[in-house]
Protein backbone atom coordinates (compact mmCIF):
# COMPACT_ATOMS: atom_id res chain seq x y z
CA UNK A 1 0.00 0.00 0.00
CA UNK A 2 1.36 3.42 -0.97
CA UNK A 3 2.43 5.67 1.89
CA UNK A 4 -0.07 8.44 2.55
CA UNK A 5 1.19 12.01 2.26
CA UNK A 6 -0.39 15.20 3.57
CA UNK A 7 -1.98 17.57 1.08
CA UNK A 8 -0.26 20.34 3.04
CA UNK A 9 3.09 18.79 2.09
CA UNK A 10 2.07 18.60 -1.57
CA UNK A 11 0.99 22.25 -1.53
CA UNK A 12 4.23 23.41 0.10
CA UNK A 13 6.46 21.41 -2.27
CA UNK A 14 4.63 22.59 -5.40
CA UNK A 15 4.77 26.24 -4.32
CA UNK A 16 8.53 25.97 -3.73
CA UNK A 17 9.11 24.29 -7.10
CA UNK A 18 6.97 26.87 -8.91
CA UNK A 19 8.98 29.67 -7.30
CA UNK A 20 12.26 28.01 -8.33
CA UNK A 21 11.05 27.72 -11.93
CA UNK A 22 10.12 31.42 -12.10
CA UNK A 23 13.63 32.22 -10.80
CA UNK A 24 15.06 30.11 -13.64
CA UNK A 25 13.18 32.24 -16.20
CA UNK A 26 14.46 35.40 -14.52
CA UNK A 27 18.03 34.05 -14.72
CA UNK A 28 17.58 33.52 -18.49
CA UNK A 29 16.52 37.15 -18.71
CA UNK A 30 19.54 38.42 -16.73
CA UNK A 31 22.10 36.26 -18.56
CA UNK A 32 20.82 37.27 -21.99
CA UNK A 33 20.83 40.93 -20.93
CA UNK A 34 24.36 40.65 -19.54
CA UNK A 35 25.73 39.17 -22.78
CA UNK A 36 24.12 41.97 -24.81
CA UNK A 37 25.51 44.57 -22.38
CA UNK A 38 29.01 43.18 -22.96
CA UNK A 39 28.59 43.38 -26.72
CA UNK A 40 27.05 46.84 -26.92
CA UNK A 41 27.10 50.09 -25.05
CA UNK A 42 25.30 49.77 -21.67
CA UNK A 43 23.01 52.65 -22.58
CA UNK A 44 21.97 50.73 -25.70
CA UNK A 45 21.06 47.77 -23.54
CA UNK A 46 19.07 50.06 -21.23
CA UNK A 47 17.00 51.28 -24.19
CA UNK A 48 16.33 47.68 -25.27
CA UNK A 49 15.22 46.81 -21.74
CA UNK A 50 12.79 49.73 -21.61
CA UNK A 51 11.31 48.88 -25.03
CA UNK A 52 10.91 45.19 -24.18
CA UNK A 53 9.28 45.94 -20.83
CA UNK A 54 6.81 48.44 -22.32
CA UNK A 55 5.75 46.19 -25.20
CA UNK A 56 5.59 43.03 -23.10
CA UNK A 57 3.70 44.63 -20.21
CA UNK A 58 1.25 46.43 -22.49
CA UNK A 59 0.31 43.27 -24.38
CA UNK A 60 0.12 41.01 -21.32
CA UNK A 61 -1.76 43.46 -19.08
CA UNK A 62 -4.46 44.02 -21.70
CA UNK A 63 -4.91 40.25 -21.88
CA UNK A 64 -4.72 39.94 -18.08
CA UNK A 65 -7.48 42.46 -17.34
CA UNK A 66 -9.71 40.89 -19.99
CA UNK A 67 -8.71 37.27 -19.41
CA UNK A 68 -12.18 36.09 -18.37
CA UNK A 69 -13.90 37.76 -21.34
CA UNK A 70 -11.31 36.43 -23.81
CA UNK A 71 -11.48 32.88 -22.42
CA UNK A 72 -15.29 32.73 -22.40
CA UNK A 73 -15.62 34.19 -25.89
CA UNK A 74 -13.06 31.76 -27.32
CA UNK A 75 -15.14 28.72 -26.28
CA UNK A 76 -18.52 30.39 -26.93
CA UNK A 77 -19.58 29.92 -23.34
CA UNK A 78 -22.97 31.00 -22.01
CA UNK A 79 -24.09 31.82 -18.44
CA UNK A 80 -25.12 28.77 -16.42
CA UNK A 81 -28.78 28.46 -15.40
CA UNK A 82 -29.69 27.94 -11.72
CA UNK A 83 -32.56 25.72 -12.82
CA UNK A 84 -30.91 23.73 -15.59
CA UNK A 85 -27.49 23.50 -13.91
CA UNK A 86 -28.54 23.33 -10.25
CA UNK A 87 -25.83 20.79 -9.30
CA UNK A 88 -23.17 23.05 -10.81
CA UNK A 89 -24.35 25.97 -8.65
CA UNK A 90 -24.61 23.78 -5.56
CA UNK A 91 -21.05 22.45 -5.98
CA UNK A 92 -19.65 25.93 -6.64
CA UNK A 93 -21.44 27.39 -3.61
CA UNK A 94 -20.09 24.60 -1.38
CA UNK A 95 -16.53 25.17 -2.59
CA UNK A 96 -16.91 28.93 -2.27
CA UNK A 97 -17.84 28.46 1.40
CA UNK A 98 -15.01 25.95 1.92
CA UNK A 99 -12.41 28.27 0.38
CA UNK A 100 -13.74 31.52 1.79
CA UNK A 101 -13.70 33.02 -1.71
CA UNK A 102 -16.48 34.99 -3.40
CA UNK A 103 -18.84 32.93 -5.52
CA UNK A 104 -17.43 32.95 -9.08
CA UNK A 105 -19.65 33.57 -12.09
CA UNK A 106 -20.59 30.27 -13.68
CA UNK A 107 -20.64 29.46 -17.38
CA UNK A 108 -21.28 26.43 -19.58
CA UNK A 109 -19.70 25.50 -22.92
CA UNK A 110 -21.11 22.93 -25.33
CA UNK A 111 -18.88 19.84 -25.52
CA UNK A 112 -19.29 16.16 -24.74
CA UNK A 113 -15.76 16.13 -23.34
CA UNK A 114 -15.36 16.24 -19.55
CA UNK A 115 -13.46 19.44 -18.92
CA UNK A 116 -13.57 22.91 -17.42
CA UNK A 117 -11.48 25.93 -16.55
CA UNK A 118 -11.26 28.96 -14.27
CA UNK A 119 -10.19 32.43 -15.31
CA UNK A 120 -10.12 35.99 -14.00
CA UNK A 121 -7.45 38.28 -12.60
CA UNK A 122 -8.57 37.90 -8.95
CA UNK A 123 -11.24 36.14 -6.84
CA UNK A 124 -13.63 39.08 -7.21
CA UNK A 125 -13.55 38.78 -11.02
CA UNK A 126 -13.31 35.01 -11.34
CA UNK A 127 -15.32 32.74 -13.59
CA UNK A 128 -15.63 28.95 -13.77
CA UNK A 129 -16.76 27.34 -17.00
CA UNK A 130 -17.66 23.66 -17.35
CA UNK A 131 -18.48 21.57 -20.40
CA UNK A 132 -21.96 20.13 -20.78
CA UNK A 133 -20.25 16.72 -20.86
CA UNK A 134 -18.75 17.27 -17.39
CA UNK A 135 -22.09 18.33 -15.91
CA UNK A 136 -23.75 15.27 -17.44
CA UNK A 137 -21.14 12.58 -16.73
CA UNK A 138 -19.69 13.51 -13.32
CA UNK A 139 -21.23 12.50 -10.00
CA UNK A 140 -21.81 15.04 -7.22
CA UNK A 141 -18.49 14.21 -5.50
CA UNK A 142 -16.57 14.19 -8.79
CA UNK A 143 -18.01 17.55 -9.85
CA UNK A 144 -17.15 19.05 -6.45
CA UNK A 145 -13.60 17.72 -6.86
CA UNK A 146 -13.27 19.41 -10.26
CA UNK A 147 -14.83 22.67 -8.99
CA UNK A 148 -12.46 22.58 -5.98
CA UNK A 149 -9.52 22.21 -8.39
CA UNK A 150 -10.68 25.28 -10.33
CA UNK A 151 -11.38 27.26 -7.15
CA UNK A 152 -7.82 26.42 -6.12
CA UNK A 153 -6.47 28.06 -9.27
CA UNK A 154 -8.40 31.17 -8.21
CA UNK A 155 -7.25 30.95 -4.57
CA UNK A 156 -3.61 30.44 -5.61
CA UNK A 157 -3.78 33.44 -7.99
CA UNK A 158 -2.53 31.23 -10.80
CA UNK A 159 -3.69 33.69 -13.47
CA UNK A 160 -1.53 36.37 -11.86
CA UNK A 161 1.39 33.94 -11.50
CA UNK A 162 1.22 32.82 -15.13
CA UNK A 163 0.89 36.45 -16.21
CA UNK A 164 4.19 37.20 -14.47
CA UNK A 165 5.72 34.24 -16.31
CA UNK A 166 4.33 35.50 -19.62
CA UNK A 167 5.76 38.98 -19.00
CA UNK A 168 9.24 37.58 -18.36
CA UNK A 169 9.07 35.33 -21.43
CA UNK A 170 7.81 38.25 -23.50
CA UNK A 171 10.74 40.41 -22.42
CA UNK A 172 13.22 37.64 -23.18
CA UNK A 173 11.72 37.14 -26.65
CA UNK A 174 11.71 40.87 -27.44
CA UNK A 175 15.30 41.38 -26.26
CA UNK A 176 16.44 38.35 -28.26
CA UNK A 177 14.63 39.60 -31.38
CA UNK A 178 16.06 43.12 -31.07
CA UNK A 179 19.56 41.75 -30.56
CA UNK A 180 19.40 39.46 -33.60
CA UNK A 181 18.02 42.27 -35.78
CA UNK A 182 20.66 44.72 -34.53
CA UNK A 183 23.43 42.44 -35.82
CA UNK A 184 22.29 43.14 -39.39
CA UNK A 185 22.95 46.84 -38.92
CA UNK A 186 26.12 46.59 -36.85
CA UNK A 187 29.38 47.58 -38.57
CA UNK A 188 31.48 47.49 -35.40
CA UNK A 189 34.66 45.52 -36.20
CA UNK A 190 36.39 46.22 -32.88
CA UNK A 191 37.27 43.51 -30.39
CA UNK A 192 38.59 40.91 -32.79
CA UNK A 193 38.27 37.29 -31.81
CA UNK A 194 36.86 37.94 -28.31
CA UNK A 195 34.13 40.11 -29.75
CA UNK A 196 33.31 37.46 -32.35
CA UNK A 197 33.03 34.78 -29.66
CA UNK A 198 30.68 36.97 -27.63
CA UNK A 199 28.53 37.60 -30.70
CA UNK A 200 28.28 33.85 -31.36
CA UNK A 201 27.33 33.27 -27.72
CA UNK A 202 24.82 36.08 -27.92
CA UNK A 203 23.24 34.63 -31.08
CA UNK A 204 23.00 31.15 -29.54
CA UNK A 205 21.45 32.54 -26.35
CA UNK A 206 19.05 34.75 -28.30
CA UNK A 207 17.77 31.70 -30.19
CA UNK A 208 17.71 29.24 -27.30
CA UNK A 209 16.68 31.49 -24.38
CA UNK A 210 13.08 32.11 -25.56
CA UNK A 211 12.65 28.39 -26.28
CA UNK A 212 14.10 27.40 -22.91
CA UNK A 213 11.99 30.01 -21.13
CA UNK A 214 8.86 28.68 -22.83
CA UNK A 215 9.72 25.13 -21.74
CA UNK A 216 10.15 26.36 -18.16
CA UNK A 217 6.78 28.11 -18.47
CA UNK A 218 5.17 24.80 -19.46
CA UNK A 219 6.88 23.14 -16.49
CA UNK A 220 5.37 25.83 -14.26
CA UNK A 221 1.94 25.15 -15.79
CA UNK A 222 2.27 21.45 -14.96
CA UNK A 223 3.45 22.27 -11.44
CA UNK A 224 0.45 24.57 -10.86
CA UNK A 225 -1.87 21.71 -11.86
CA UNK A 226 -0.36 19.53 -9.12
CA UNK A 227 -0.76 22.45 -6.72
CA UNK A 228 -4.43 22.93 -7.67
CA UNK A 229 -5.05 19.19 -7.20
CA UNK A 230 -3.59 19.29 -3.69
CA UNK A 231 -5.37 22.53 -2.75
CA UNK A 232 -8.62 21.09 -4.12
CA UNK A 233 -8.28 18.14 -1.74
CA UNK A 234 -7.78 20.64 1.08
CA UNK A 235 -11.21 22.12 0.21
CA UNK A 236 -13.17 18.87 -0.25
CA UNK A 237 -11.24 16.65 2.19
CA UNK A 238 -12.13 13.89 -0.26
CA UNK A 239 -9.32 12.94 -2.71
CA UNK A 240 -11.37 10.22 -4.50
CA UNK A 241 -13.72 12.88 -5.88
CA UNK A 242 -11.13 14.53 -8.15
CA UNK A 243 -9.23 11.25 -8.67
CA UNK A 244 -12.35 9.51 -10.03
CA UNK A 245 -13.15 12.52 -12.24
CA UNK A 246 -9.64 12.25 -13.72
CA UNK A 247 -10.17 8.52 -14.27
CA UNK A 248 -13.30 9.30 -16.29
CA UNK A 249 -11.38 11.94 -18.26
CA UNK A 250 -8.61 9.44 -18.94
CA UNK A 251 -10.96 6.70 -20.17
CA UNK A 252 -13.30 8.79 -22.32
CA UNK A 253 -12.98 8.75 -26.10
CA UNK A 254 -13.61 12.14 -27.66
CA UNK A 255 -13.88 12.78 -31.39
CA UNK A 256 -11.54 15.21 -33.11
CA UNK A 257 -14.61 17.32 -33.84
CA UNK A 258 -14.95 17.94 -30.09
CA UNK A 259 -11.32 18.92 -29.58
CA UNK A 260 -11.50 21.42 -32.45
CA UNK A 261 -13.96 23.43 -30.37
CA UNK A 262 -11.10 24.74 -28.23
CA UNK A 263 -8.29 27.14 -29.25
CA UNK A 264 -4.82 25.73 -28.59
CA UNK A 265 -3.90 28.83 -26.59
CA UNK A 266 -6.62 27.89 -24.09
CA UNK A 267 -5.18 24.44 -23.33
CA UNK A 268 -3.23 25.43 -20.16
CA UNK A 269 -6.42 26.74 -18.51
CA UNK A 270 -8.35 23.46 -18.67
CA UNK A 271 -8.33 20.87 -15.90
CA UNK A 272 -6.91 18.39 -18.43
CA UNK A 273 -5.39 18.72 -21.88
CA UNK A 274 -8.44 19.06 -24.18
CA UNK A 275 -6.42 17.73 -27.12
CA UNK A 276 -5.78 14.37 -25.43
CA UNK A 277 -2.11 14.01 -26.33
CA UNK A 278 -1.08 10.39 -25.96
CA UNK A 279 2.51 11.12 -24.93
CA UNK A 280 3.37 13.49 -22.09
CA UNK A 281 6.65 15.35 -22.53
CA UNK A 282 8.36 18.68 -21.86
CA UNK A 283 6.00 20.37 -24.33
CA UNK A 284 2.87 19.25 -22.45
CA UNK A 285 0.70 21.83 -20.71
CA UNK A 286 -0.53 19.29 -18.13
CA UNK A 287 1.17 16.57 -16.07
CA UNK A 288 0.48 12.93 -16.82
CA UNK A 289 -3.04 12.09 -15.64
CA UNK A 290 -1.83 8.78 -14.18
CA UNK A 291 0.67 10.64 -11.99
CA UNK A 292 -2.04 13.05 -10.85
CA UNK A 293 -4.30 10.13 -9.91
CA UNK A 294 -1.42 8.38 -8.11
CA UNK A 295 -0.72 11.48 -6.01
CA UNK A 296 -4.38 11.94 -5.16
CA UNK A 297 -4.69 8.29 -4.13
CA UNK A 298 -1.68 8.77 -1.85
CA UNK A 299 -3.29 11.67 0.03
Q: Quick one: which H or E segment has residue 118? A: strand 116-119
In which band, very low, low, confident or very high, does the pLDDT at 299 lie, cut at 50, 70 and 90? confident
Q: Is the pTM for the entire model greater than 0.95? A: no
257 and 189 in contact (C-beta within 8 Å)?
no
Instruction: Give bridge partners of residue 109 from the DSSP assignment.
Output: 131
* pLDDT tens track for 14-32: 667 667 766 777 777 677 7
Residue 201 C-alpha from the chain's centroid: 31
**Count of domains observed in the chain:** 1
In which band, very low, low, confident or very high, does the pLDDT at 2 lie, cut at 50, 70 and 90? very low
Give the 3-state secondary structure of residue 144: helix
Residue 212 has pLDDT above 60, yes or no: yes
In which band, very low, low, confident or very high, does the pLDDT at 215 lie, cut at 50, 70 and 90? confident
274 and 113 in contact (C-beta within 8 Å)?
yes
pLDDT at residue 289 in the model: 92
Q: What's the CA gap between 145 and 133, in Å, rounded?
A: 16
Nearest to 26 by CA among 223, 221, 212: 212
In which band, very low, low, confident or very high, does the pLDDT at 38 lie, cut at 50, 70 and 90? low
pLDDT at residue 1 in the model: 40
* pLDDT tens track for 61-98: 676 677 788 888 888 999 999 999 999 999 999 999 99
175 and 49 in contact (C-beta within 8 Å)?
yes
pLDDT average, residue stretch 237-259:
86
What are the φ/ψ torsions at residue 116 (nearest 5 degrees)?
180, 170
Give the 3-state secondary structure of residue 236: helix
Q: What's the CA gap between 244 and 141, in Å, rounded?
A: 9
Q: What's the CA gap between 182 and 171, in Å, rounded?
A: 16
pLDDT average, residue stretch 53-62:
67
Residue 267 C-alpha from the chain's centroid: 9
* pLDDT tens track for 165-207: 766 676 677 777 767 766 665 555 555 666 677 677 777 777 7
Q: Which of 150, 189, 225, 252 is catalytic?
A: 150
Range of the domain at 237: 1-299
pLDDT at residue 145 in the model: 96
- Verify whether residue 150 is a known catalytic residue: yes
**Residue 80 gets which letter from DSSP?**
P
Amino acid sequence: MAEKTSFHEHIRNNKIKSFILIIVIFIFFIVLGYIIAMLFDPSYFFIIMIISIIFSLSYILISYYNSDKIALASVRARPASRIQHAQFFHAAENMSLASGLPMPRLFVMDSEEINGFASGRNPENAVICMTTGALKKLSKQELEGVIAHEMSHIANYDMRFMTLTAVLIGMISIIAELFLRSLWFSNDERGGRAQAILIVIGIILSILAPIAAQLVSLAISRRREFLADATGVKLTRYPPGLANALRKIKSEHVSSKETHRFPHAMAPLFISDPFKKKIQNIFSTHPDVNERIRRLDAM
